[in-house]
Amino acid sequence: MTCKDKNYLIIGGSSGIGYAVAEAITQSGGNVIIVSKNMDKLTSAVKKLKNGNNLCYSYDLNDIENIKDIFEFCSSKHIMLDGMIYCAGISPLCLIKENSAELMRKVFNINYFSFVEAVKYFQIEAYSKEKSKIVAISSITSKGAGYRQVLYGSSKAAISSSIKLMAKELLNRGICINAVSPGVVETDMLTELRRESMNLDDKIKQNQPLGIIPAAKVAKIILFLLSDTADYITGTELLYDAGAKLK
């Protein structure tokens, strides 16, 4: 599978799964435009990528009103996109009684509404090529796994349920859209969760028999969905849960 000379927009690409995807794409000959809020992390991420002509763009995904700016940036660099990967997400741990309206809005703005807006603009002919690819990161939390994760799980469930509906609308340009729902992945988000929960790794392995998933493994699945081999796959959610559904 090769991404040679192709251009991919990675929203939420400065760390975790998003950065692993950026590495996989550039190692396969492609170029990436990484979007995230923190400019220092973005600059560092792009510097670490050893191949490709790569760019970064700082944007706060809590602002759902100006997502078009991301695509205008790409256009200003004369970049036509071959694909988009939406990896952005926040996962505050809280019980239902601890939720606030502000927190609910923020989680859904970043995890879901900005994704919908990004798809809206990606499909426009001025920004993407015919038969391009979109991959969104959902989560097995959307299936009811997890505790104190109502907001995160619900926002990811929204992504999962939207994929098939979006796929129907994108057929006219031959755009394929799919989701990957991984189990627990070794990311910065997991590192933060470890600070709040003792023996977290042991608990995860009880529910996820094949263990914690390396981000690079998820990236390879995404690379497959971006490839020509996946030209006839759309509207699909791929579970990559290390055996969690078997428990």
pTM of the model: 0.94
Give the pLDDT band of residue 1 (cuts 50, 70, 90): low
pLDDT in tens, 180-224: 999 989 988 788 778 877 788 888 888 899 999 999 999 999 999
Residue 186 is assigned to a structural domain of this protein = no
8 Å CB contact between 162 and 116:
yes
Distance between CA 109 and CA 115 in Å, rounded?
A: 8
Residue 44 is assigned to a structural domain of this protein = yes
Residue 188 is assigned to a structural domain of this protein = no
pLDDT of residue 75: 98
Structure tokens at 193: 């969760």
Query: Average pLDDT, stretch 50-77?
Result: 97
Which residues neighbour 211 within 8 Å (Cβ) at sequence distance 6 or greater?
A: 204, 205, 242
**For residue 173, is pLDDT > 80?**
yes
Give the pLDDT band of residue 144 (cuts 50, 70, 90): confident
Residue 247 is assigned to a structural domain of this protein = no
CATH number of the domain enclosing 157:
3.40.50.720
8 Å CB contact between 50 and 78:
no
Domain that includes residue 85, residue range: 7-181+217-239
Q: Map residue 162 onto helix, strand or coil.
A: helix
Residue 13 is assigned to a structural domain of this protein = yes
Which helix (H) or strand (E) element contains residue 159? helix 150-170
Distance between CA 206 and CA 211 in Å, rounded?
A: 9
pLDDT above 90 coverage of the chain, percent: 77
Residue 195 is assigned to a structural domain of this protein = no
Residue 193 is assigned to a structural domain of this protein = no
Total domains in the chain come to: 1
How, if at all, do strands 213-214 and 185-186 pair? Answer: parallel
